[in-house]
Structures are given as structure tokens and as C-alpha cells.
Chain A
Amino acid sequence: MTAITSDFVAAPVLPKWVVPVLLLAFAYGVVPLIGSSYVFEAILLPFLALSLAGVGLNILTGYAGQVSLGSAAFMAAGAFAAYNFNLRVEGLPLIGSIFLAGIVAAAIGIVFGLPSLRLKGFYLAVSTLAAQFFVQWALTKFSWFSNNSASGVIDAPRLSISGLALDGAVGRYLFALTIVTVLTFLAYRLVSSQTGRNFIAIRDNETAARIIGIPVLRTKLLAFAISSFIIGVAGVIWAFAYLRTVEPDGFDLDRSFQILFIIIIGGLASIRGAFFGAALILVFPLALSRLGGFLLGDLFDSGVLDMSQRIVLGALIILFLILEPDGLVALWDRVRRRLLFAWQST
């Protein structure tokens, strides 16, 4: 009981919106001025894309409790759909292509979400693998999707919004940042709405949810649709803003796992968690390679780096699952509360 009461004593003093607004002001106003092209290309763009994918998966897995291993498939569906809409529909603005790509990903999400009506947990996770393998296979098999490119590779179109070209690293960063901001805000609104509470109700107790009249089947499919929409748009950012050239193999099972790890490490059922997790997953290999190079010199080549990354990342995930199942977000909140408490009591 004492622990719970102390939570209330050290409640945050700032209103909820202050931190996000400050962060956004920094991201829009300061980062474009100080960031180098390396920072945008290698860190911020993949960070934004993976964070958004994490937000999407968190809606499905963290909030609605439906485990999915098909995230990369929905990213691929979004990326290739946007490419094709952009290529084949004359006069469709880029934003329109992206929105329709999200809708396509959502439709595929609903189809592969149908097993969730009967399956739970591991069984459902395995059935979402079907999405992973099917989408990747279809995109490779039918060259129409990549406009008959021999290798299945697609090249991103020029990014522009109402005539404003966004081709440089900064432009693509602002483009990605804007989409991520809007969708994250909407996702935040969603999880605090009645629909979001229905997601949590189904996750926490499906029978009770059904008894009190929550439309369980419809709500589960809605979770799949919304989640896939967001992940699909994240795929577009990944392909159009970050890599610029993608092939179906880039959206393999490893990517799905990466997104799952992001939300586990960052914190399930937390919008912020996706950003925390994505930051860790991206910064961690860079830090490791710097550290390894510094300590071991030439011995630490790319093979060793790759292997040590996997080992350390695996260990990290195990540690998180055991020590902090609520993820980095819970860790961060606890540290912040301690600091605030220390600051208040001085």
C-alpha cells in the first residue's frame, strides 16, 4: 500500500501535453538545423519508421492482446501498395497514395486477423506467420507489384507535398516526422477512447468483455485493421523516406521480430514505449560497434559485431522480460518519479 500511495505523492507536476509539445518543437525547430546527413539517414529516418510500426503493433498486441508476427508483411503491403498507387493512378497526390496504401494494409490485416476469432496466444502468433510468408511470396512471385522489375526492387518516387519538394535528407525527415506525429496523435486518441478501452477489456478478460456486451469479434478485427493501417504507413516511410529502394526480402521475418522486440523492450500497451524501444534498438548497435572498436580495435570486425549484437540483444530481451516486463517506459517513469521526489523533498 505504501508504494501505491507514494506514486500519488510524486505525480508529475507538468500537464500531460507539455513534454510532447516540447519534443515536437525540438524535432521541427532544432534538429533540422543541427543534424548531419548521417544522423538523418542512419538514425532518425529508420527511427521514425520503426517507431510508427511499433505504435501500430502496440495497438494490436499491447492494447488488444493479439500477438502478431506479421508486422513486416503489413509494412511491405503498405510500401508496395503506395508504390503502385503512385505509379498507376494518374494525378493522385502522394498523401492519397499513402492513405490508400494504409487501407490496403488494413484490408490484408483483417483477412489475416480472421484466425484471431478462434485462436489465442501462440496459436494466433503462428497463424499470423502466414501473412508474413504469403505477402513476401506474392510480392516476389508476381512481378506486376514491382512494375516488372526483374529483381522485385522498387524505387521510391520523388517526395513532394502540394508542390513542395522534400527530396533531401532534411525534407524526407520532415515528411516522415509529420506523418508519424499525426498518426501517433490519432493513435493516442484511439487508445484513450471507448474503442481503446474495449481493446484492453478484450485483452484482459474476453469472456467478461463479451458478457458486458462489447462486440468482441468486431473489435478484434478493428484492432487488426487499425494496427495494419499504421504499420502499412510505416512501411511507406521505410521505403519512400528512409531506404528509397526496397525489395520484398527487406520485409522478412527478422523485421517482424524487430518490431515485436521494440514494443516488448519499450513497453507493451504504451504509445511512448514504441519510441523508447525503437530508439534503443537503433542506437544500441551503433553504440556497440563504437564501443567494440574502441576496446578491441581491429579484432572487432563486422562479423564479430553482427554476432555480438545478436547475443547482447537477446540477453537484453531476456533481462527485460524478467526484470522490467513493462519495458523502458516503466523504467523511465520510475526514475523520473524518484528524481521528482528527491527534488521535491529538498
Chain B
Amino acid sequence: MPLPSYTLGVMEASAYAPEVFARGLPSGPRPEQSFEDVAKSAGAVAGDASALLSLQGISLSFGGVVALADIDLSVRQGEIRAIIGPNGAGKSSLINVISGVYRPDRGHVQLDGTSYAQVPTQRLAHLGVARTFQNLALFKGLSVLDNVASGLAYKVRSNFAGQVLGIGRSRGEQRDSRSRAEQILEFLHLTAIRDRLVGTLPYGLQKRVELARALVAEPRLLLLDEPMAGMTASEKSEMASFVRAARDRFATTVVLIEHDVGVVMGLSDRIAVLDYGRKIADATPDEVRNDQRVIDAYLGVASDNEDGAGI
């Protein structure tokens, strides 16, 4: 399969422009897309035009261990797509491939119509992609507000001299990033702790700060690697409502990995199930719940429990 090599020009052309997508329209293609009609009729076929993100034949192995084997995945604009699977199924590897941390052995990642053999990590924010990490990846020495504002660092055009002397565009940028960070803090109910160092916060709040840092750039695609791991039940449901609210408010497409099947079923529009690096199911929560292969591989419910009670 010939892989189109990306050039700077291609990347610039697809660079993220936040003002072009209409707020308050949680799903559907952006208005100016020329293939709008095609997209509407095409439905959820892999690689179709309405897909914001699609993976084609992704394979990845570490030494002899196969982490991902020939994964296809198509994520539609505005959907919340969960990836579940037992430990070691390759979920985090998949997120790392999508965000360019890993380079897949085969296959490619298509982001908003541009195909990559390896997604350029350094350009990720410009492409409108933000992510969180399974193990917190916050900047411990910065306050909550500064952590969140750093999510806008990719936009900063002023140089250090301008910032030190407070001249040029640096003042406006500083004001803008602070006010946007404050809006996100407000949105995620973090305003009260804005000046605390993140290192001093309890785990659940740190997870939320990381979500805020990812959201502040108003990404088109948000990758969440176990956003609710280690949380209490009430923190989980709070986080789930934040994810849904973020999708509705910013029309963000969400791909999330989560272990708590109960939360996933309620939150996601569709669920892909991985097992030993293979995709064994990709459907709506109800269909996944009743899929015999999923039950055997992951849900661990006795196969005679037909109505799925207890899941």
C-alpha cells in the first residue's frame, strides 16, 4: 500500500481553524465541506467521508509481541467512541498510534482527510487533536490555571523577548490564553482551585485538570486514555457528564478508553472492543452488550445470561 508522504504544505492546509466549525452543532460535517451530501448518505462505512478519524490496517508489534493487528476504525464527527478491552488488549497503543507517539508497522491514520504513516506529534495540537494520558501527565510545578493555559502554547507567536518586555502581541496573547483557560476552569468547576499547584491536588481533580488542559484548545478530536481510572463512582459519573458536556459544547469528537463498562455503556455512541490486538466488535452499546464474542473475551458474564443482567 503506497503511503502518501505528507509535506508541510499539506499540513498547513489542514491546520486547525477553530472559528470554522459551528458551535452548538454537536455532530455533522462542517458547513463548508464540499462532500457534505455524500457524507450524509454514506453512513458509517469505514473510511467514509464523514469520518474525522479513520485507521486503516494498523498493525504494531513490540519485538515479537503483537500489540495491534490490522485494526480498522472509523470515528464520525461528533461521536463519543469508546475503546474497551481486557488489559493488554492494545487500547493505549491505539491511542498512542493516533497521537503519533508510536509509529505503526503497517497501515495509516487518516485525520480529517489527510493520511499519515505516523501522525506528527509536534503538529498534533495544530491539527486539532488533544489527548490525556493514562498516568497523569500534568506539569507539577505549575498552577492549575497555568497548566490549563499551557494547552494553548501551540498558538503563541510572540517570542521570549516580547514576553519579557511585555511588548508586541505577547500582552494580547497572555490575556487571551488566561481568559480562555478561566472559561474552561469555570466549565469544569475548577475555578476555586485555579491557583493551586497541581501536584498538591487529589488524584480525581488532577484528572479533571488534565481534561481541562486538553479542552482549552477546543480540539476537534479529543483522545482520553482512561479518564476515570482510579476514581470513585461519583467522580466517574461526574467525569462522564463533563465529557458529554464538552462534546455538546465544543462539538468535539471523543475517543476514550475506559475500563468501567457501566460508564462506557451510558456514555458512548459506539464501542469498539479489542482483544489481543484485534478488533472483535464495533457497534452500539446495546449490540456490544449482546455480542457473544465480547462477552467471552471481556464482559465475563456467563453465556446463558441472555438479557445481559449484571453488566
Contact = CB atoms under 8 A, between A and B. Distances in A.
Interface of A: 4, 186, 189-190, 193-195, 197-198, 200-201, 203-205, 207-216, 222, 226, 269
B200 interface: yes
Interface string B207-243: 0000001100100000000000000000000000000
Nearest to B125: A213
A194 B156 contact: yes
B200 A204 contact: no
10 contacts: A186-B164, A190-B163, A193-B164, A194-B156, A211-B101, A211-B124, A211-B130, A212-B153, A214-B154, A216-B122
A222 B150 contact: no
A201 B160 contact: no
Contacts of A197: 139, 142, 146, 149-150, 153
A204 B140 contact: yes
Contacts of A186: 164
A212 B214 CA distance: 8
A151 B259 CA distance: 71
B179 interface: no
B151 interface: yes
Contacts of A269: 141
B21 interface: no
B177 interface: yes
Nearest to A210: B121
A7 to B, nearest CB: 9
Given A207-B101, A208-B138, A269-B141, A222 B122 contact: no
Interface stretch (B104-112, B166-174, B271-279): B166-174
B298 interface: no
A267 to B, nearest CB: 12
Contacts of B137: 205, 207-208
Nearest to B196: A4
Given A194-B163, A194-B174, A211-B131, A201 B200 contact: no
Nearest to A198: B153
Given A208-B138, A214-B154, A226 B121 contact: no
A325 to B, nearest CB: 13
Nearest to B149: A197
B122 A215 contact: yes
Given A197-B153, A207-B137, A215-B122, A189 B142 contact: no
Contacts of A216: 122
Across the A-B interface, the 6 shortest Cβ-Cβ residue pairs: A213-B154, A213-B125, A193-B163, A208-B137, A204-B139, A195-B160
A210 B153 CA distance: 10
A191 to B, nearest CB: 10
Interface in B172-217: 173-174, 177, 196, 200, 213-214, 217
Contacts of A226: 160
B139 A200 contact: yes
Interface in B143-163: 146, 149-151, 153-156, 158, 160, 163
A208 B133 contact: yes
Interface residues of B, number: 40
Nearest to B140: A204
B99 interface: yes
B138 A204 contact: yes
B293 interface: no
A204 B142 CA distance: 9
B26 to A, nearest CB: 24
Contact of A205 (B101, B121, B139, B158): B139
A193 B160 contact: yes
Contact of B126 (A189, A213, A214): A213
Nearest to A193: B163
Contacts of B150: 197-198, 201, 209, 212, 214
Contact of A200 (B131, B141, B151, B213): B141
A167 B166 CA distance: 35
A203 B141 contact: yes
Of the listed residues A186, A203, A210, A222, the one surrounded by the most CB atoms of chain B closer than 10 A to its CB is: A210
Contacts of A204: 138-142
Contacts of B130: 211-212
Given A190-B164, A213-B217, 5 more contacts: A189-B166, A193-B174, A204-B140, A212-B151, A213-B123
Contacts of B173: 194
B75 to A, nearest CB: 19
Contacts of B213: 212
Contact of B142 (A201, A207, A213, A215): A201
A213 B124 contact: yes
Given A194-B153, A212-B125, A212-B130, A205 B138 contact: yes
A193 B123 CA distance: 22
A211 B99 contact: yes
B97 to A, nearest CB: 13
B304 to A, nearest CB: 45
B193 to A, nearest CB: 10
Contacts of B217: 212-213
